[in-house]
Amino acid sequence: MNYNYIAPYYDLLSRICFLNRQQIAHKIILKYLKANDKILWLGGGSGWFLEEINELNILVEIDYVELSTVMINKAKTRNHSNLKVNFYKEDIFKFETNQNYNIVITAFIFDHFSASDCEVLFTKFNPNLIIEGKWFCVEFNENQNLIQRFLTKSMVVFFNLIAGIKTKDFPKIDHLFNDFNLIEEKQYFWNYIQSKVYKK
Ligand SMILES: C[S@@+](CC[C@H](N)C(=O)[O-])C[C@H]1O[C@@H](n2cnc3c(N)ncnc32)[C@H](O)[C@@H]1O
């Protein structure tokens, strides 16, 4: 997988295609963050949301894991002066950590992988999330109407070509969180995008 080619345009494209709803969908996490939180952020992309967290002006520590050089270099230029951010240019499947986290963030990342790889990913990092910790997950709804199915198929073909993604559909992931409590959920873009805050 390689986001380097699309990286310069990704944020703009996503803002235009989804009328900024992918970005707005991130915001519900902000009120759950508190000083001294330790956050694991998987596939953070260009880091635009770092600046929103920075504006909270609370000191949180973030392990930011991103595979694309162009994306992570962009993220490093974001204003994160109030935060402690550790940038890791790594494949999340290979990233090793023995840290305990209060928060895990996955936003539009599970949809790159097969259902079995999503399970591997979830099982890999779930032990690092403390009891009562929160997993913040923003993804496309797994229940889609016909138009949304068409959009999904089109996006999958686009990202197959542009970023070398191997999957042919979005995986179903809601069941991964069966043992968590869903404490907040919001839907956007005619229920196509959903933001969920799960508590362990
Ligand atoms: C669709 S973008 C979403 C970016 C960001 N989370 C957002 O919502 O704006 C997916 C990001 O995940 C990264 N990514 C994909 N596979 C990855 C992997 N195996 N390890 C680390 N990052 C990965 C891509 O490089 C890309 O930046």
Distance, CA of 78 to CA of 45 (rounded, Å): 12
Task: Dump pLDDT digits (tens) for 139-183.
Answer: 999 999 999 999 999 999 998 998 989 898 999 999 999 999 999
% of the chain beyond a pLDDT of 70: 100
Q: Does pLDDT of 26 surpass 90?
A: yes
What domains lie within the chain, and their CATH numbers?
A: 7-199 (3.40.50.150)
Ligand 1 atom nearest to 93, measured from its CA: 19
7 Cα to the center of ligand 1, angstroms: 10
Distance, CA of 18 to CA of 195 (rounded, Å): 14
Distance from chain centroid for Cα 168: 20
Arithmetic mean of pLDDT, 26-53: 97
Pocket lining for ligand 1, CB < 6 angstroms:
1, 3, 43-45, 65-68, 71, 91-93, 107-109, 112
* Higher-scoring residue by pLDDT: 163, 1: 163
Average pLDDT, the chain: 96
Distance, CA of 66 to CA of 55 (rounded, Å): 22
Q: Does pLDDT of 1 surpass 90?
A: no
49 Cα to the center of ligand 1, angstroms: 13
Arithmetic mean of pLDDT, 35-64: 97
Arithmetic mean of pLDDT, 78-83: 98
